[in-house]
Amino acid sequence: MKLKSAIAYEEKWAEKWAEAKIFEADPKPGKPKIFICVPYSYQNAPLHVGHGFTYTRGDAYARFKRMQGYNVLFPWAWHWTGEAVAGTCERLKRGDQSVRKMLVEIDGVPEELLDKFTDPVFVTRYYTEENRETVKAMGLSIDWRREFHTTDLHPYYSKFIEWQYITLKNKGYITKGRHPVVWCPRCKSPTGDHDRLAGEGVSPEEYTLVYFKFGDAYLAAATLRPETIFGVTNIWINPNHEYVLIRADGKKLIVSEQAAYKLKNQIKVEILKKIPADELIGKFAETPLTGKHIPIFPADLVDPDFGSGVVYSVPAHAPYDYAGIIALKNNQERIRKYQLKELVESIKPISIIRVPGYGEFPAVEEVERLGITSDTDPRLEEATKTIYSKEFHEGVLKDNCGEYSGKTVSEARDLVKEKLIEMGLGGVMWELPEKVICRCGTETIVKIVEDQWFLKYSDPEWKEKVKEHIKNMNIYPEEARRWFLNVVDWLRDWACARKTGLGTKLPWDPDWIVETLSDSTIYPALYTISKYLNLGIIKPDQLNIDVLNYIYLGAGDPEKISSQSGIKEEILKQMREEFLYWYPVDMRISAKELVPNHLTFYIFHHVAIFEPRHWPRGIGVNGMLKIEGEKMSKSKGNFIPLKKAIEIYGADATRATLLLAAEDLDDPDWRDKNAREARNMLDVLIRICRDVVSANSNDYTRVDEWLLSTLQRKMKKITSAMEKLKTRTAFNEALYGLYNDWKWYIRRTGGRLGKAAEKFLEEWVKILAPFIPFTAEECWSMLGKSGFVSLEKWPEPREELINEDAELREDLLKNLMEDIRSITEVYGKPPKKIVIYVSSKKKRELLGKAIELKSLESKAALGNLIKWMIAEKLADKKKAPTLAKLMVDTLASLTSKYKEKTLLNVAENELEFYEESREFLEREFNANVEIYSEDQENIYDPRNKASTALPLRPGIYIE
RNA sequence: GCGGGGGUAGCCAAGCCUGGUCAAAGGCGCAGGACUGAGGCUCCUGUCCCGUAGGGGUUCGUGGGUUCAAAUCCCACCCCCCGCACCA
């Protein structure tokens, strides 16, 4: 199971770290701590590069904080809770070939183990073993003494969950209720998205049943728009199907046969007798609320398989209904059969909703516009959607709607529904908007699960507390905060227990298992004490309610709890202390898909159970990984296990690729090309170390000053990016930013390394350590350093090494080179001779003057500068405007970065600096370089370029 | 539908909050050159258009607006991605 990294030295360092136990964290009183964690992953598959992204960010942050001197706890665990593994095992047992194929080809499971993969416990254990190796190979700086997995298969995890749920129940956060699910009648279980052949993403919708009095019974019509009851003109039923009389909801109802069967799964239903459609058609029923008597008509638009099989007709606002009227009028045979001629003629649409953009009868308009004459025309679907959405958002009920007149459609909808139910003239029916077919081939229905346990996330007080806390947390990036607040607002009660799969039983109702997202909320607290159990200091059985209440809530008397539980009082107190030391979690890092569920639940549960001082302090959210621009999925065949990436590119190259891909909420994109490039860069780093070690560096030049100065600036930038979890910015600067500085330095010195080189490299390696720790360790040892770079002090910028003059000089040199290049490029031929003219001493005053004028009145500065130049005889009337403009532009590009004093300083010694750089320039351009001051005697100036010299912007002549 | 994020040069991706210093960082790709026995690696240069002197022109989803000045601010529109509960 051991995996082999593509980078030879990685395994060595992983072993050394483990031997030295450098990531094991124990409380150190007085030393500031940081508790960092990432959500544990479900053990039904190998970890993939997407996991790797979040993990690497977490690890980089952990390593950064550790180097900054914090006592960092970064623990690990595995999620076994859930139903997915059991589902896969079932399918494998049934001989599903696609499962076999996926396991072998994508997940890399050895064929000979497949027989054992019918056992969920074996599967989760198998992946845990495999993934542990992957996490270790990735170089994550974990304290492995605290590891655990979930479910009652673990000796103490369920003790913890039982404590959590008893606590929640005692506090009133758990309730019992009913709950609609998509249900497969054959499998006798809920049909989740991944268990479907058709209907992905479809969830139950709530329809209102409206009861129309018919003799001593009621026709129950299902609708999404109960407010349209005021515009009803007739009822539709399907003439070719049987209806049934049922006893339900305390009365007799008439629905289609199929509907009766569906309703059975939702409410108590007793079927009394069959009623042929013919017995209903042509008769009248009474509309609730209005008391109007309306006729019952036949229509093909009615699908007895959908809803209740009874539809009430609102031709003014429902295109299907208007089309139904037209179709019926045109169907002479039916009219004759049921003798409906006059009745149908008398039907007139009743307008009840005012909506901008339409007249009296929106449905009539749409149907006529499209020229629809059949009530089964597929275009009716589109027309219905258009009007539904328009009326819902902009519609207002007219004066003929009783007490609802003047209300918006969206308001009236719920009010009418509630009123009908209250009066006993309405009910609820759940229905699927599209067919959902279970993987077993059976069509599913909506079932109401009774006695379902809920977490009461709807509780307003609970919500309020959570929101208040979210406002005070550190959330990166900031945009995520708004999202969290929104999720809290919209969160409803959560069905927190299941009947199947792995997990922990509800302590008060062992028929139920705590569901996967509900047993994974406060477990970071378990990390603070799991060490004691894993090391055998206490036994799992001793972890009873009182013990946990004491450790986590400080409740009870330790002496009594000690004698009751058999845990030494000293140990008990130590565990309490350890919890108090590490908690709260300072930073939890996760992908954004967990914002609407896990991360929000995580806050909810902490708020419910712990003291405010132990509520989560920070959350970092990141995007979701794509592969070569596409969503990663096993079915697409672009699934990349993390293990594989390590084997191909090595852990550090994988880490680098991931870190450079994105930050904040942006989705990172894994590209093979980038991974290979990252791999290259690591070699470059190693080579640089080798070169520096073998060089003897003595000189200390101005370029050395520059190198150290720019390093200090980069340190500042990288540090502040890391503090905000901007790992991409930080690593990009650390890797490429500093690399470019290094290249410039080598170029400037012509490869003769100065004193700064070694110092720079030393700091550079430290800065790289959180991101590519293996390579950093390797470099560190190559540099002859002892100990681990992982434990070195994070470099702090030293103000005294910042040298603005040196930085400006290098910038001027780069500008000069760019200008020379720009000229030669236009010229078309490489230069033979380059002449540089530095401005005269007198002209240097221009700089001071320009600065002065600019700060006084920026708008008039240019004009005044021109006048001043002419007055001071620095240029004639022809040239002064051009030069002045240039001066101002040059200044503008430099003032944002440099102090005025620096500009003046450097301008003072410009000539000297270019002289020093002559050799470099000659090398760069392979040409003779001459440097003059413009006011020097006997200068070589065939094209009169000396006069174009300005301070900080020399004149150039090229041959 | 509700909510969140986004549309920048051949590609990926910074910049946008705090308007000018932006033809717009960095990486990839491509072209030329150096190095090499050769290739790879590495290094240098170029990579919107025009230009025999450091210049000019047109660009940052579309259309308007604010401003002396907009990739950056405001309005409208178009398009893309993600989440929405029994998958974790």
The whole-angstrom separation of Cα A413 and Cα A392 is 9
Q: State pLDDT tens for residues A353-383.
A: 988 778 889 899 888 888 888 888 888 887 8
The whole-angstrom separation of Cα A226 and Cα A210 is 7
Task: Give the closest residue to B21 (Cα–C1′).
Answer: A893
User: What mean pLDDT do residues A101-110 have?
Assistant: 91
User: What mean pLDDT do residues A48-73 have?
Assistant: 95
Q: In this prediction, what percent of chain A has a pLDDT beyond 70?
A: 99
Task: Give the closest residue to B1 (Cα–C1′).
Answer: A389
Give the β-pairing of A587-591 and A618-622.
parallel
Between helices A120-137 and A84-93, what is the axis angle to 10°? Answer: 120
CA of A630 to C1' of B4 (A): 20
> How many CB atoms are closer than 10 A to CB A284?
15
A736 touches strand B (CB under 7 A): yes
Provide residues 181-200 of A with CB closer than 7 Å to any strand B atom: 181-182, 190-195
Residue A637 has pLDDT above 70, yes or no: yes
Q: What φ, ψ does residue A544 adopt, rounded to 5°?
A: -90, 180
Whole-number pLDDT of residue A355? 83
Note whether ipTM > 0.90 here. yes
A766 to A24, A534, A718, A788: CA distances (angstroms):
21, 33, 12, 10
User: What mean pLDDT do residues A931-942 have?
Assistant: 90
User: What mean pLDDT do residues A395-417 have?
Assistant: 88
CA of A825 to C1' of B11 (A): 27
Are the CB atoms for A917 and A813 separated by under 8 Å? yes
A629 touches strand B (CB under 7 A): yes
The whole-angstrom separation of Cα A42 and Cα A87 is 14
Give the β-pairing of A196-198 and A437-438.
antiparallel
Enter the DSSP assignment of A641: B
CA of A673 to C1' of B82 (A): 25
Task: Lowest mean pLDDT of A91-100, A307-316, A778-787, name the range.
Answer: A91-100
Residue A164 has pLDDT above 80, yes or no: yes
The residue behind tokens 């806050």 is A603
Are the CB atoms for A192 and A265 separated by under 8 Å? no
Q: State pLDDT tens for residues A494-508.
A: 999 998 899 999 999
Give the β-pairing of A217-223 and A205-214.
antiparallel
The whole-angstrom separation of Cα A749 and Cα A745 is 6
Q: What φ, ψ does residue A104 adopt, rounded to 5°?
A: -75, -50
Question: What tokens does A193 get?
Answer: 């998205």
User: What mean pLDDT do residues A409-434 have?
Assistant: 89
Task: Give the closest residue to B87 (Cα–C1′).
Answer: A194
Q: State pLDDT tens for residues A682-693.
A: 999 999 999 888
Residue A859 has pLDDT above 60, yes or no: no
pLDDT tier for residue A245 given thresholds of 50, 70 and 90:
very high
Continuous H helices in A612-737: 642-649, 651-661, 672-694, 702-723, 727-732
A512 CB-side CA count, 13 A: 22
Whole-number pLDDT of residue A535? 95
Q: Which residues, other chains included, contact A551 with Cβ-Cβ below 8 Å and sequence gap of 6+?
A: A529, A572, A575, A576, A579
Task: Lowest mean pLDDT of A483-487, A772-776, A880-884, name the range.
Answer: A880-884
A819 touches strand B (CB under 7 A): yes
A457 to A195, A205, A462, A567, A607: CA distances (angstroms):
27, 21, 7, 36, 12
Residue A860 has pLDDT above 80, yes or no: no
Positions of chain B reached by protein Cβ under 7 A:
1-6, 12-15, 20-22, 25-29, 41-46, 51-55, 81-88
A926 touches strand B (CB under 7 A): no
Distance of alpha carbon A17 from the chain centroid: 31
- Output A545 or A876, whichever has higher pLDDT: A545
CA of A867 to C1' of B73 (A): 36
Mean pLDDT for chain A? 91
Are the CB atoms for A74 and A141 separated by under 8 Å? yes
- Prior bond of A315 cis (ω within 30°): no
Whole-number pLDDT of residue A549? 98
pTM: predicted TM-score of the whole model, two decimal places: 0.90
Angle at A554 between CA A27 and CA A473, to 5 degrees: 65
Q: State pLDDT tens for residues A646-658.
A: 999 999 999 999 9
Whole-number pLDDT of residue A890? 83
The whole-angstrom separation of Cα A592 and Cα A600 is 11
The full DSSP string for A717-754 is HHHHHHHTT-HHHHHHIIIIIHHHHHHHHHHHHTT---
The whole-angstrom separation of Cα A907 and Cα A844 is 7
A90 touches strand B (CB under 7 A): no
The whole-angstrom separation of Cα A456 and Cα A327 is 50
Nucleotide nearest to A503 (CA to C1'): B88
Enter the DSSP assignment of A190: E
Sign of the C-alpha dihedral computed for residues A177, A183, A188 and A191 taken in this order = negative
